[in-house]
């Protein structure tokens, strides 16, 4: 959850960081707010 001054997309890397590095992330599903280059890069870095 974010306030109105914070977009959803910048939070995704923080959410992914909460998942232990040794735990596999098979896929990420979300709405259009997360469909940004930064989100795609964060997801790719986790190998999802």
Domain edges within the chain: 9-45
pLDDT of residue 25: 93
- All residues at 6 or more sequence positions from 18 whose CB lies less than 8 Å from its CB, including other chains: none
The position carrying tokens 């939070």 is: 11
DSSP alpha helix (H) spans, 1-48: 12-17, 37-45
pLDDT of residue 2: 73
Kindly report, residue by residue over 1-48, the tens digit of the pLDDT: 677 888 778 888 899 999 999 999 999 887 777 788 888 999 999 998
pLDDT of residue 35: 80
pLDDT of residue 16: 92
- Which pTM does this prediction carry? 0.75
pLDDT of residue 18: 95
């Amino acid at each position: 959850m974010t306030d109105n001054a914070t977009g959803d997309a910048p939070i995704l890397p923080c959410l992914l960081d909460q998942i232990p590095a040794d735990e596999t992330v098979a896929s990420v599903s979300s709405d259009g707010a997360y469909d940004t280059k930064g989100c795609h890069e964060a997801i790719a870095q986790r190998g999802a």
